[in-house]
A and B are shown apart, each in its own frame.
Chain A
Amino acid sequence: MIRPVVSSLLLIACAATAHAAPELVIVNFGGANGAAQRKAFYEPFERTSGAKVVAVEYNGEQARVKAMVEARKVTWDVVEVESPDLSRGCDEGLYERVDWSKLGGKAAYLPAAVHDCGVGAFMWSTVMAYDTSRFPGGGPKTWADFWDVKRFPGKRGLRKGARYALEFALLADGVKPADVYKVLATRDGADRAFRRLTELAPHLQWWEAGAQPVQWLVANDVAITSAYNGRIDAARREGRPLAVVWAGSLYDFDYWAVPKGSPNRDLALRYIATAGVPDHQAAFARLMPYGPTVPQAVARIDAETLKHLPSTPANMTDALKFDARFWADQGEVLEKRFAAWAAR
Chain B
Amino acid sequence: MSPTSLATHPLERAGLRAVRALCVALLAFLLAPVLVLVPLSFSDGSFLTWPVPGWSLRWYDDVLHSDAWLRAARNSFIVAPAATLIATVLGTLAAVGLARADFIGRGLLTSLLIAPMVVPVIVVGLATALAFAPIGLGDSFTGLILVHAALGAPFVLTTVTATLDGFDRNLIRASASLGADPWATFRRVTLPLIAPGVVSGALFAFATSFDDVVVTLFLAGPTQVTLPRQMFTGIRENITPAIAAVATLLVGFTTASMLALEWLRGRRER
- Closest approach, in angstroms, between the C-beta of A24 and any C-beta of chain B? 12
Residue A12 at the chain B interface, CB threshold 8 Å: yes
Residue B49 at the chain A interface, CB threshold 8 Å: yes
- Closest approach, in angstroms, between the C-beta of B44 and any C-beta of chain A? 11
- Determine the chain B residues whose CB is within 8 A of the CB of A238 once the complex forms: 45-46
Give the residue name and chain of the B residue nearest to A207 (CB): B236
Mask for A1-16, Cβ within 8 A of B = 1, else 0? 1001100110110010
Residue A313 at the chain B interface, CB threshold 8 Å: no
- Closest approach, in angstroms, between the C-beta of B157 and any C-beta of chain A? 19
Give the residue name and chain of the A residue nearest to B217 (CB): A61
Mask for B225-261, Cβ within 8 A of A = 1, else 0? 1000000010011110000000000000000000000
- Determine the chain A residues whose CB is within 8 A of the CB of B238 once the complex forms: 30-32, 211
- Determine the chain B residues whose CB is within 8 A of the CB of A70 once the complex forms: 133-134
Residue A201 at the chain B interface, CB threshold 8 Å: no
- Determine the chain A residues whose CB is within 8 A of the CB of B134 once the complex forms: 70-71
Residue B152 at the chain A interface, CB threshold 8 Å: no
- Determine the chain B residues whose CB is within 8 A of the CB of A73 once the complex forms: 133, 136, 138-139
> Are B236 and A59 in contact, with the CB atoms below 8 A?
yes
Residue B98 at the chain A interface, CB threshold 8 Å: no
- Closest approach, in angstroms, between the C-beta of A56 and any C-beta of chain B? 4
- B interface secondary structure, majority: helix
* CB within 8 Å of A: which B128-171 residues: 129-130, 133-134, 136, 138-139, 141
Given contacts A30-B233, A71-B138, A211-B239, contact A11 B74 (CB under 8 A): yes
Residue A54 at the chain B interface, CB threshold 8 Å: yes
- Determine the chain A residues whose CB is within 8 A of the CB of B186 once the complex forms: none
C-alpha spacing A34/B199, complex, angstroms: 42
- Determine the chain A residues whose CB is within 8 A of the CB of B49 once the complex forms: 218-219
Residue B95 at the chain A interface, CB threshold 8 Å: no
> Are B222 and A76 in contact, with the CB atoms below 8 A?
yes
Q: Which are the 10 A-B pairs with shortest beta-carbon distances?
A: A209-B236, A56-B222, A71-B133, A30-B237, A31-B238, A8-B78, A67-B133, A215-B239, A211-B239, A31-B237
A-B contact sample (11 more), CB < 8 A, given A11-B78, A57-B233: A8-B78, A15-B223, A27-B222, A32-B238, A57-B237, A59-B236, A67-B133, A70-B133, A71-B136, A75-B223, A219-B47
